[in-house]
Chains A and B, each alone.
Chain A
Amino acid sequence: MTRLVYGLVTLMGVVVGVAGAYGAAGGAGTLRIGWLVPLGGLELTLDPLAGFFLALIGFAAVPASIYAIGSSDGDGRGRFAYAAFVASMCVVPLAGNVMTFVLAWELMSLASYFLVLRDPDSRESVRAGWIYLVMTHAGLACLLGGMLLLGADIGSLRFADWRAAAPTLTPTTRNVAFVLMALGFAGKAGVIPLHIWLPLAHPAAPSHVSALMSGVMIKLGVYGLMRVSLDWLGSGAPWWGVALLIAGAASSVIGVLYALVEHDLKRLLAFHSIENIGIILLGLGSAVSYRVAGLEALALLGLIAALYHTVNHAAFKALLFLGAGAVVHATGTRNMEAMGGLIKRMPWTAACFLIGSAAIAALPPLNGFVSEWLTFLAMFQNASLGAVGQSLVFTLGIASLALTGGLAMACFVKAFGITFLALPRSDAAAHADEASPTVRVAMLALAAACIGLGVASTLVVPAFEHVAASVLRTAPRATAGHWLTLRVSGDFASLSTAAIAVALAAALLGSLAILRLVGASHRTRSDETWGCGRILQTARMEYTATAFANPFKRVFDFFYRPTTRLDIESHPESRFFVQRIEYESPTRSIFEDWLYRPSLDLLVRGARVVGTLQSGSTNQYLAYILAALLLLLVLA
């Protein structure tokens, strides 16, 4: 039964994916069922952007569901929530009016809430679900506020009418609506500082759900941001682009910084989702800036970069979450410090995870490299804006993207190296078993997607350019080239991942051939690891994830503000015989300490003040009613 449900979702994914691809390629259509829901009826509209995201959801849902088939072990909890989750996500990009959109959006949030709350007995799970629920509804409130404001101003709740009426809006309405809706969508996307739910909720859910939440659900926030900043409100103010760039720069660097010191494998991946959303926003922000300035070819380039990275992140993040899920399933822990040596026990999972790690670290010729390259190129041409202030913001974006690349590489050396290499650090890791064939199929499919999207970039970009051009409603082309090379902005830059892949492969063979040519010795002998003559090597001698991340903790200590706790227990007879040492160096979150804690305190204090009205005496309540009545009469 459980497998049947997951099988059906797989099938749905295929169908939806194909439909989405049809839409992205230009197929359009509208479905209206007026009686189904109140206030405008159900309205589904397929346009290229909706098709693009629909295809993304469909194709990500397929491997996630296959993984679920392979790993469910007859545990049927959450299967219907999962089906509802995927179905509601499919409706979100298709929604053609506010009512449809909000219903689908809320259903998606609730279904994922139940998936996060997989284990109602664990405090951690309940807390994660609670924070997720609060944040998502705060976001929904913002979103509804913006949408209703716009709806009231224009007099229609249909998105198509908004699009038509956008040029007539006053700047104030436009800006207020932008801020409210952008906040709502940014909250769902996990943009800093609205991210606090994300690293709690994603790891708490089962891995195939985490894969979809990170790979797709937060992308619907990006979808919303694209609609708001480029489509529904027409072309906006210059500061929209600047705001998106700053949010992107902050999210990318801060996301990866948090990931570096995180040793819970799934939380680490969740923080990387924040980073990647930041990278997407850098592309989107430059698109918005260029569009306002009338530089349509550059705007197109920025949007292509954002779309490309959206797809890439879905591919490698889903792959990494499935890999992490397989590891967690095999070892029974999410703590990296208890893993190690898994490459020998789980060679397939390790190989797939390695590909995912290289892809997310933007190493050529994989897919992450292509989209980061495009993002760099989009931001880099800001000189044509001719505005020094904006150019400095772009410079900040370039610097943060460059820094993010380096730090992400470092982080995935840690994630892969500590988890899969060297000796197992626990019994569970020493006896881990390879994932089931079904799970492996899901991971291999995604790994193939990471390679394919990278090497075949020249085939993919034109397809995305078509979608981007339809969003911006422009004709000019940002890219040119043929099957081998992609040229950007005329002669400005060019990219050929296929050539890189071939050159790397040739150079690999070449280095083997050179060794043969110069007559290198083939003899190899196995020996224990060199340890300065010590007698026994154990996993306790290995570098830990904490130690690995320590240089970063010291370099960025102004950000992490680590506290150190050292607890030494020595023998009662002499303090020189140490029996146990416990060292802990947790970091403190700036956002919790300086943003959420104070505002929650303020809220509680305010509530206490208002609470004094609630005395419990009937007479007093009657007095309130009387006062309110009088006030109303006077005002009338």
Chain B
Amino acid sequence: MADVAAALLQLLIVAAGAPLIVGALRTLKARLVGRRGPSPWQPYAELRKLISKEAVVSTTTSWVFRATPYVLVATLLVAAMIVPIAVARPPLAFAGNIILLVYLFMLGTFFLALAGLDAGSAFGGMGSSREVAVAALAEPTIIVAVFALALRAGTIDLGRIAERFGAEPWLAANPAHLLAFAAFFIVMLAETGRLPVDNPATHLELTMIHEAMVLEYSGRYLALIEWAAAMKLFLFMALLANLFFPWGLSAPTGLVPIAVSLLSLTLKLGVLTVAVAVLEVAVAKLRLFRVPELLAGSFALALLSLMAVFVVR
């Protein structure tokens, strides 16, 4: 019973809270450049509007195009039950741990990239090609970086890693930890299409990565895809927050600890959102073919971090 409640709570937080992060990021970025900016609740209004519109589907496409938004959302909803967000023992944590999480993201990327190719437009193919190039370098980094933490925590269960580092914070004072954090942060920016890898606000097709793939989507399909993108950002931020700053995360024991962990999560996400907003305002987008260098760098950082676990004891 407690499991079901925890599952529903996690799902609800991710599903309902995700657009707020995107909205808050936009508001903050606007404020930082001297604009008033939209309300943080703006993405909700946009989603509501999109679902009430008709969907225009290209005659060139196949069922893959129409199935993709649902598959994408499904992978992220399942991922929401693997990442420790409100509770340290998320309901599906037993189903495959961090490896499953990464491969679920890959499942989503796989279908989205196919959908990008499906309409047969040059932009879609270009976006797919770039997205998989980024994902192919970024997603392995997550596995390696989290393994570095897992080795020192003695388990690959995300919740248990967080608990271990929460209980013994001095373990975090280690080069492996810092390297893994740097690698993970870069991957987060790359995977969720933020600057300096991809510009979420661009209108120029030739510079797009994620956006170019979804140019063909409209109406409810687009709403699902935007929602999924928001959930992915939320999940990455929550994972980063709870893995590297695990204080306040609770095992599902009662209402008070869960309330504490929710409060701390809000704080941590708030800090991260500000950090990402400041970074996005301060840095320019990298030239496309410099992006792999950044990602290769982050992969190397993750690898170094894993090696540091063995070498620096």
Assess A/B contact in the complex (Cβ within 8 A). yes
The contact string, 1 if C-beta is below 8 Å from chain A, for chain B 143-159, is 11001001100011100
A539: chain B residues within 8 A (beta carbon): 120
Chain A min CB distance to B150 (Å): 8
Binding-face segment, B24-32, B35-43, B52-60, B272-280: B52-60
Q: CB distance B110 to A494 under 8 Å? A: no
Judge whether A475 is part of the interface by a CB distance below 8 angstroms: no
A237 contacts B by Cβ under 8 Å: no
User: B46 to chain A: closest CB distance in Å?
Assistant: 13
Is A402 a contact of B64 with CB atoms below 8 Å? no
Whether A399 lies near B292 (C-beta < 8 A) is no
With the chains together, A230 CA to B69 CA distance in Å? Answer: 47
Across the interface, A413 reaches (CB within 8 A) one of B63, B117, B138, namely B117
Q: Is the CB of B130 within 8 A of A551?
A: yes
Contact of B96 among A492, A495, A531 (CB under 8 A): A495
Scoring B residues 64 to 106 as 1 if CB is less than 8 Å from chain A, else 0, what string do you get?
1000011101110110010000000000101111011011101
Partner of A529, one of B97, B120, B299: B120
Verify B311–A388 contact, CB threshold 8 A. Answer: yes
Interface-side segment among B215-223, B234-242, B261-269: B215-223
| Residue A7 is within 8 A (CB to CB) of chain B in the complex | no
B128 at the A interface (CB under 8 A): yes
Select B95's contact among A391, A499, A523, beta carbons within 8 Å. Answer: A499
A410 lies within 8 A of B104 (CB): no
Which B residues between 200 and 244 are near A, CB-CB below 8 angstroms? 215-216, 219-220, 223-224
Min CB distance, B67 to chain A, in Å?
9
Instruction: Give chain A interface residues in 502-555, CB to chain B under 8 Å.
Output: 503-504, 507-508, 510-512, 515, 518-521, 523-531, 537, 539, 541-543, 547-552, 554-555
Q: Which residue of A lies closest to B70 (CB)?
A: A511
Which residues of chain A are within 8 angstroms of B144 by Cβ–Cβ distance?
Answer: 398-399, 402
* Chain A binding surface SS class: helix
- How far is A531 from B219 in the complex, measured between Cα atoms in Å? 18
Which chain A residues lie closer than 8 Å to B292 at the CB level?
551, 554-555
The closest CB in chain A to the CB of B311 belongs to A388
B180 within 8 Å of A by Cβ?
no
Q: Is the CB of B109 within 8 A of A409?
A: yes
Residues of A within 8 A of B (CB): 340, 343-344, 350, 354, 358, 361-364, 369, 372-373, 376-377, 380, 383, 388, 391-392, 395, 398-399, 402-403, 405-407, 409-410, 412-414, 416-418, 420-423, 485, 491-497, 499-500, 503-504, 507-508, 510-512, 515, 518-521, 523-531, 537, 539, 541-543, 547-552, 554-555
Additional 14 contacts, C-beta under 8 A, given A491-B155, A524-B219: A364-B103, A369-B100, A409-B136, A412-B110, A422-B60, A494-B95, A495-B100, A515-B224, A518-B48, A524-B56, A526-B59, A529-B59, A548-B125, A554-B292
Interface residues of B, Cβ cutoff 8 Å to A: 48, 51-64, 69-71, 73-75, 77-78, 81, 92, 94-97, 99-100, 102-104, 106-107, 109-110, 113-114, 117-122, 124-126, 128-130, 132-133, 135-141, 143-144, 147, 150-151, 155-157, 215-216, 219-220, 223-224, 289, 292, 296, 299, 303, 306-307, 309-311
22 CB contacts below 8 A, A to B, read A364-B104, A395-B306, A405-B143, A406-B138, A410-B132, A413-B114, A413-B128, A413-B132, A423-B120, A485-B94, A499-B95, A500-B92, A504-B78, A521-B54, A523-B219, A524-B219, A528-B58, A529-B121, A543-B124, A543-B129, A548-B117, A551-B133
